[in-house]
């Protein structure tokens, strides 16, 4: 039988716990009764269980996140698993959304005219649009951003006939 389950082992465990609890007590006195000792120990065990559960729920998904699927290799005129026609269609949809969002932000003077804040908001809107388009074409977000990058680098025309800007506004501190 384990040493903890013998009478001497149980006394030693209780003495160790009492010493630990005495260090935690505000006046340094040990608990007055066995019931107080059990209640304090139970409260600590419950607190540790809640902490363990919270840590497990928070860190668990990060530890178990599967790797994203690999981007399909280039074959013939296919790149990123799509023909150039499909890539251009995807780019056109993303470019159209970007141009419309830029116009809306300027017209409505969102973010008090702060250009960098509008750019940041544009990134948020662009990601949402990229998810919609990716779902429709059954693509990953990685493929979407690769197509957007290709279109910007190759200077494909957007819906207005001009290539998309490849730069962002520099950060300027707000004065308000």
Domains in the chain: boundaries = 3-64, 84-153
d(CA 33, CA 39): 10
Burial class from Cβ neighbours inside 10 Å (0-12, 13-18, 19+) for residue 50 reads exposed
Q: What number is the average pLDDT over the span 19-48?
A: 72
Q: Which two tokens stand for residue 77?
A: 């005129």
| 86-90, 108-112, 113-117, 163-167: range with highest mean pLDDT | 86-90
Q: 11-20, 40-49, 55-64: which range is least confident on average?
A: 11-20
Q: Residue 113: pLDDT above 50?
A: yes
Q: Residue 99: pLDDT above 60?
A: yes
pLDDT (0 to 100) of residue 56? 86
Of residues 33 and 87, more confidently modeled? 87
Q: What is the CA radius of gyration of the chain?
A: 30
Q: Residue 2: pLDDT above 60?
A: no
d(CA 79, CA 147): 9
d(CA 146, CA 165): 16
Q: Residue 152: pLDDT above 80?
A: yes
Q: Residue 135: pLDDT above 90?
A: yes
d(CA 96, CA 102): 10
Alpha helices, H only, the chain:
7-24, 34-64, 84-107, 115-137, 141-153
Confidence band (pLDDT; 50, 70, 90) for 153? Answer: very high
Q: What number is the average pLDDT over the span 120-146?
A: 87
Q: Which two tokens stand for residue 2?
A: 């384990």
Helix, strand or coil, per DSSP, at residue 157: strand
d(CA 83, CA 143): 12
| 142 contacts 71 by C-beta, under 8 angstroms | yes
What pTM was estimated for this model as a whole? 0.56
Of residues 28 and 72, more confidently modeled? 72
Helix, strand or coil, per DSSP, at residue 105: helix
Of residues 128 and 14, more confidently modeled? 128
Q: What number is the average pLDDT over the span 36-40?
A: 75
Q: Which two tokens stand for residue 46?
A: 């419950």
pLDDT (0 to 100) of residue 137? 92
Helix, strand or coil, per DSSP, at residue 167: coil
pLDDT (0 to 100) of residue 151? 92
Q: Which two tokens stand for residue 137?
A: 């074409």
pLDDT (0 to 100) of residue 1? 45
């Amino acid at each position: 039988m384990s040493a903890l389950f013998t009478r001497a082992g149980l006394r030693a465990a209780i003495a160790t716990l009492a010493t630990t609890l005495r260090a935690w007590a505000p006046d340094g006195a040990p608990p007055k009764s066995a019931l107080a000792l059990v209640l304090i120990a139970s409260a600590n065990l419950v607190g540790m269980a809640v902490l363990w559960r919270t840590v497990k729920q928070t860190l668990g998904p990060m530890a178990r996140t599967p790797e994203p699927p690999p981007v399909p290799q280039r074959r013939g005129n296919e790149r990123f698993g799509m023909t150039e026609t499909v890539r251009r269609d995807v780019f056109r949809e993303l470019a159209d959304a970007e141009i419309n969002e830029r116009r809306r932000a300027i017209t409505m003077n969102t973010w008090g005219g702060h250009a960098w804040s509008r750019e940041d908001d544009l990134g948020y809107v662009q990601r949402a649009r990229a998810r919609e388009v990716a779902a429709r074409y059954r693509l990953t977000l990685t493929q979407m951003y690769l197509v957007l990058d290709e279109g910007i680098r190759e200077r494909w025309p957007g819906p207005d006939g001009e290539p998309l800007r490849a730069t962002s506004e520099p950060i300027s501190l707000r004065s308000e």
